[in-house]
Amino acid sequence: MLRKHDTPAAAGADASIRTRRAYFDVRYGQLHVRTAFPATGGFDEQAPLFCLHDAGASSREFGGFLAAIAARRSVYAPDWPGSGESDPPPEGGAEGSAAAAVLDLVAELRLRRIDLLGVGAGAAVAVEVARLAPERVGRVVAVGAHALVASAATTHPCLVLALDGTRDPPRGVRGQNVEWVVAPEYRDRPFLLAPEALAERVAAFLDRR
């Protein structure tokens, strides 16, 4: 792992929290990851949260949300292989490569259990990680366009943030494991413009055991 540099906490977040950037070795080469940790150092908090960006984006998508949620738990936001500053996979589906890289990162960090948050296509990656290693995953948060498909495919407790204002989940995602929240107020760049409010909503779901 090669640490690069620190960035300041978001406005309103604990000033002691910094977002750090590092590289980890996975099967496709180097995986670029943004991380942030509670003031405790992450040794006595909840399961770490892995944040998975949308296709065509990078971990920059999460903006100040990483520092905001890190007041409560350790957080990792990898760039998909071939996105951001991560090395590309040789071939194959982008979502499958991303899921494999996440599992490599979990193994590298020796984490027994994680929670997942996925935005758009990142929600599909989160669900694939949960399918491949169900014993490692606690809860899933699905945000945005791919949330409908993703939430129907997971048996883990799942929070769906319906950013487009859709009031009712489609047929097939009304199971007891799915919590559907209409959240149009987060539609426009939520992780950049409303990081604290979004962190509160996500943490409330993740902390429910």
Q: Which residues contact 19 (CB under 8 A, 6 or more apart)?
A: 6, 7, 8, 9, 34, 35, 36, 66, 67, 70
Model pLDDT for residues 113-170, shown as the tens digit of each residue: 999 999 989 999 999 999 999 999 999 999 875 666 666 677 899 998 887 766 666 6
**30-43 mean pLDDT:** 85
| Helix extents (H) in the chain | 65-69, 94-109, 121-132, 147-153, 190-193, 195-206
Question: Residue 84's pLDDT band (boundaries 50, 70, 90)?
Answer: very high
| pLDDT greater at residue 167 or residue 60 | 60
Question: Residue 1's pLDDT band (boundaries 50, 70, 90)?
Answer: very low
Question: Residue 182's pLDDT band (boundaries 50, 70, 90)?
Answer: confident
Residues present in the chain in total:
209
Average of per-residue pLDDT values in the chain = 84
pLDDT at 22 over 60: yes
Question: Residue 21's pLDDT band (boundaries 50, 70, 90)?
Answer: very high
The ranges assigned to domains in the chain are 2-206
Q: Which helix (H) or strand (E) holds 180?
A: strand 178-182
CB 33 within 8 A of CB 76: yes
pLDDT at site 18: 83
pLDDT at site 174: 53
The domain 2-206 is placed in CATH, from the list 3.40.50.1820, 3.30.9.10, 1.10.287.70, 3.40.50.2300, at 3.40.50.1820
